[in-house]
A and B are shown apart, each in its own frame.
Chain A
Amino acid sequence: MQTTRLAAASAAALGLLLATGCTTDSPTDAPEDETTTAAESGDEWFVQADYDEQLAQRDIEPEGDPATPWLQAIEPEWIDTSQFAREGGDATVCFSNASVSNPWRVTGWITMQQQVEVLQESGEIGEFRVSDAGDDDDQQISDIQAFIDAGDCNAIIISPSTTATLTPAVEAACESGVPVVVFDRGVNTDCAVTFIHPIGGYAFGADAAEFLVDELEPGSKVLALRILPGVDVLENRWAAAEKIFAESELEVLGNEFTGGDAAEIKNIVTQYLQRGDVDGIWMDAGDGAVAAIEAFEDAGKPLPVMTGEDELSFMRKWEETGMTALAPVYSNFQWRTPIIAATMILAGEQVPAEWVLPQDPITAAELDDYLARNEEMPSLHYAKFGGEDLPGFPDAWRDR
């Protein structure tokens, strides 16, 4: 009895503590934003308007030179940034990174550092300060807060770990008056000067799904391999594919979470093959794609029609086996753009309010070209990394 009562009492005490805690007035920097619409309070992950927009954007010719896709933009709305113009160069650029916890981010991160070196040489960037949150949203909020409190960042670049959860922190960064650049995953606020991203998850998932629908006979069986549940950018890829598959005559055998672990992927595919034929594989990211192909080889089954990603191990296996495949791309070269955007903003030049980068899958016709261009690169490297013209090429990526 004693303990139960005590537990109840402590619970009450906890509540009381909290209540008193939150009524404290904020003398300093409370984020005051009335427009916070932490949207999606339901858990519906399919937004028809976004889907339609992204699918349409795939066919729009981007502005800018195709030789430098990281500077291209789809239907940009150029905005004035003269208020952020700064004299004297040697800007301190602060970058809050979600993590470098997968090969895609590792590749992009190297590209970004190489781009920074170029701009440091030319004197536009002085210090480049980085925090890495290790995929922890709470940590990243602290990281961003630390940049704001330090007070000497001339620009803050943020690659958010999760869309909705970083919104308050990004708003706080905007309010500090420093230009903010957000890239990769977005946030639920448009307070940043520019938000840089490739077309998006729906387009990625749709490119892959449409390819399978085109290449496979009606009635064929498709297995979907996904990394994790609950990550919005990945959920969008699947949502688009699910819709397209539902409207097609393909049969979806299942959608499985693999954690991107090759052994897990091979296990799952092997088990599906024991139960029957699999004609197509759809993946929401290319990690471990080769293991899926090997499962077919080891089971002595004909190779499936498959979509992976522009990760080289997959593309090399694709070439070696001559299978029917597509490499959808979540443009890795986007890691260069935020650095360039930050220096443009600090120079008072116009930038697109939403900087939508092209996102073109690699088809069989382009396969040899991209493999040749990346010949020396390690197998967990991304073909469209867009760093070939940087001075560190190829050593920085090859000998990392």
Chain B
Amino acid sequence: MTRLRGPVDLLRWAANPTGTVFVLLAVIFAWIFVLNDAFFAGPSFMAFLKQAAPLMVLAAGQYFVIVSGNFDLSVGALVGAQVVIAARLIDGEESRTVPVLLVMVGFGLLVGLVNGLITTVLKVQSFITTLGMLLVLFGAIRLWTGGAPTGGLSESFRTAGRMGIEGVPVLGQIPWAVIIMVAVGAGAILLMRTGFGRILMASGDNERAAGLAGARVDAARIAAFLLSGLSATIAGILIGGYAGVSAQVGDGLEFTVITAVVLGGVVLGGGRGSVLAAMAGALAIEALFSLFNQMALPATLRPTVQGAIIIAAVAYAARRRARPGSTAPHVSATANPS
């Protein structure tokens, strides 16, 4: 899928489920271009990528969990928790920025570890594990801050999400968020090419076979949750940096990001899809929101259009997938197989 040798290959690639998302992305971008070509001028496109970066980072993390056959519904609450933790612990003091960042990374990994252990050792389906974690995080963080965020972020904390390398020709500013997102993406792609990536894919594809072949399926799945917790932490740093603290930060992100990953052709239930396409799915969702905005589509109608497009895109990809063999899943799994 990476090397294209001719028009036939290109067609075949566009028709495969992973390719669908790039076609969708191209269509949305073309439409925006027709409406407003200024959108693609360097600075404004960079601004678009800056705001899309957190969701793309989150999509990379969610990809690992989904491809190994699980769900992580706790990421939205974790992003919110991380921003609130940062604000409360930093409380406007520049000097606390780095220690607090370390605390946040530790907390993100801890949440991932707990999710992973409950799912693998206690055999609780990940949908329930992470739904429970969502409730726990949501409540605990408000319990800790008395209901609404307190404190404040430092300027240096906000750099990653808000600032960038200034004065670049054509582009104007290269936001740090975009650089971080690209780094996360590159790291994720490389990781999936290692032995770990293959084990992860295998545990989602066919756990039993993977286990028989000597792969440490549970360990791989726990690692996937750790990566998801880490990506939520990075996304939290970016979102907090981008927009500051608000009580609603992170709300509902879990559904948006899962949609993005599925839009990228990653199959819920595991075993299929590429991390690049998952991140492209996130970019497509953000592009869709931009398109709605450019079209001045009435705000109340947007969910309807969004829902219809998502169903259509996923159905299109599923149709392609179903064609080659008749063994395609009739109803894909809704949780981890065991």
Contacts and interface: CB of A to CB of B under 8 A. Distances in A.
A and B, direct touch (CB closer than 8 Å): yes
A380 B290 contact: no
B270 to A, nearest CB: 30
A78 interface: no
Interface string B142-166: 0001111111100000000010000
Nearest to B45: A274
B84 to A, nearest CB: 10
B249 interface: yes
Contacts of B162: 294, 298
Nearest to B51: A267
Given A259-B251, A261-B249, A261-B251, A102 B243 contact: no
A266 B51 contact: yes
B304 interface: no
B246 A261 contact: yes
B246 A106 contact: no
A229 B298 CA distance: 12
B131 to A, nearest CB: 16
A183 interface: no
B244 interface: yes
Interface centre among A255, A259, A265, A275 (most CB of B within 10 A): A275
A299 B38 CA distance: 14
B299 A257 contact: yes
B122 interface: no
A287 B51 contact: no
Instruction: Give the dominant DSSP class at A's interface.
Output: helix
A291 B240 CA distance: 11
Given A257-B299, A270-B47, A294 B247 contact: no
Contacts of B38: 274-275
B71 interface: no
B2 interface: no
B246 A291 contact: yes
Contacts of B289: 267
Interface string A202-241: 0000000000000000000000000001000000000000
B260 to A, nearest CB: 15
Contact of B245 (A110, A260, A379): A379
A294 B145 CA distance: 25
A274 B148 contact: no
Nearest to A298: B162
Interface in A102-125: 102-103, 105-107, 109-110
A255 B299 CA distance: 7
A271 interface: yes
A97 B247 CA distance: 19
Interface string A81-110: 000000000000000000010110111011
A259 B151 contact: no
B36 interface: yes
A261 B248 CA distance: 5
B39 interface: yes
Nearest to B290: A271
B164 to A, nearest CB: 10
Given A261-B251, A270-B47, A275-B294, A291 B244 contact: yes
A122 B145 CA distance: 30
A168 B278 CA distance: 48
Nearest to B289: A267
Contact of A291 (B36, B47, B243, B296): B243
Contact of A260 (B147, B246, B293): B246
Given A254-B296, A262-B244, A262-B246, A275 B36 contact: yes
Contacts of A290: 244
Contacts of B147: 100, 103, 105-106, 109, 400
Contacts of B146: 106, 110, 400
A66 B244 CA distance: 36
A268 interface: yes
B246 A288 contact: yes
A400 B150 contact: yes
Given A103-B148, A274-B44, A400-B147, A380 B247 contact: yes
Nearest to A290: B244
Contacts of B29: none
A305 B336 CA distance: 52
B242 interface: yes
9 contacts: A100-B147, A103-B149, A229-B299, A261-B246, A263-B239, A263-B249, A268-B293, A271-B294, A378-B149
Interface of B: 36, 38-39, 44, 47, 51, 54, 145-152, 162, 239, 242-249, 251-252, 289-290, 293-294, 296, 299-300
Instruction: Report, nearest first, the 4 A-B pairs whose CB atoms are least far apart.
Output: A400-B146, A106-B147, A262-B243, A262-B246
